Each structure stands twice: as structure tokens, then as C-alpha cells.
Amino acid sequence: MSGKPDTIPYKEIIDYLNSKANKSFKNVESNKKLIRARFNDGYTLENFKRVIDVKTLEWLNDGKMADYLRPTTLFGNKFDQYLNQKPKRAKTAGVVPSWMKKPSQTKPLPSLAKVNEDMQATIAKKMAELNNLGKANARKAE
């Protein structure tokens, strides 16, 4: 290294990764070496933040891939690929949560009047069952 000060924002990059990925990586030489290499390739702080954002969006909630949200993976030899990747959400094993479905894919909610009608019918049925049970018990007692 030359005598001029190192202006690479190592701490800011590591802190950003830690905050986005819920990790606690340290500002140690092994991580600095990866960051320095990418800065020497011409990448910027904003490039690092974009890679972190893209990969955390994709991997954070993926049990297998979340472990790869680390400096050695993100700032290594695939950095340029990650930087140029279009953001995508994690895969959900083919299951689409109901709140993500289009309205045409969901059943319409019943009206409040229908719910009330069904509840009244259920209550009346249960009351009749209890009434019949009470009559049967009264006959047994006689």
C-alpha cells in the first residue's frame, strides 16, 4: 500500500450488510480484502449497497441461501453478476400466499347478512338440541 490514507468505506459497507441481512460481521482484514479488491476493480459504495439489497431481497427468507449472505459470497468473484442481476423475490416452493393471489383466484367473501343468517341457524339448531336433551332428562327423572 502507498503512503496515502485508505478512503474505502469498509465499515459502512459491513454495517450496511449487517443491518440488511441481520448479521454481525466484523470490520476485519479478510472482509476488507474483498471490499478493497472490488474497489480496485472500479466499483463504488452504491454498487456494494445494490448487491446487498438485491441478494438480501432474494435470499434473506430462504433457509438454505440466507447463510450465503456474507462478504465472501457477496463481494467475491460473482460481484459483477450480482450487481447486474434484476431484483427478484425468494421462491416460495410453488405456493402462492392467498394475499398475493389475484381477486379472480380467490373466493368472494360472504355477505354479512349471509354470515348472520348462518349463525342464527346454527344457534337455533343447538338450542333445539339442548331443549330436546332437557326434555329427555326430565322424562328419565319421572
CB count in 10 Å sphere of residue 95: 7
Look at 8-22, 25-39, 117-131 and tell me which has the smallest mean pLDDT.
117-131
Residue 93: its pLDDT value, please? 47
The mean pLDDT value for 82-93 works out to: 76
45 pLDDT above the threshold of 70:
yes
| Rounded Cα gap, residues 50 and 28, in angstroms | 22
Q: How many domains does the chain have?
A: 2
Asked whether residue 102 is assigned to any structural domain, the reply reads no
Same domain assignment for residues 21 and 75: yes
**Residue linked to cell 456494494:** 48
Name the band, by pLDDT with cuts 50, 70 and 90, for residue 6: confident
Task: Judge if 78 and 142 occupy the same domain.
Answer: no
77 shares its domain with 119? no
Q: Is residue 54 part of a domain?
A: yes
Count of helices and strands (H, E) across the chain: 6, 0
With a CB cutoff of 8 Å and minimum separation 6, the contacts of 138 are none
- The single-letter code of the amino acid at 139 is R
Residue 2, domain member (yes or no): no
Instruction: Name the residue type at position 127.
Output: M
What would the mean pLDDT of 45-69 be, rounded to a whole number? 93
Range of the domain at 124: 107-142
Give whichever of 1-5, 55-59, 97-101 has the largest mean pLDDT. 55-59
Cell numbers 476485519 correspond to: 28
Residues of the chain with pLDDT > 70: what percent?
80
Question: Has residue 101 been placed in a domain?
Answer: no
Question: Which pTM value belongs to this model?
Answer: 0.61
Whether residue 136 is found in the same domain as residue 66: no
Could you tell me which of 3, 21, 116 has the C-alpha nearest to residue 60? 21
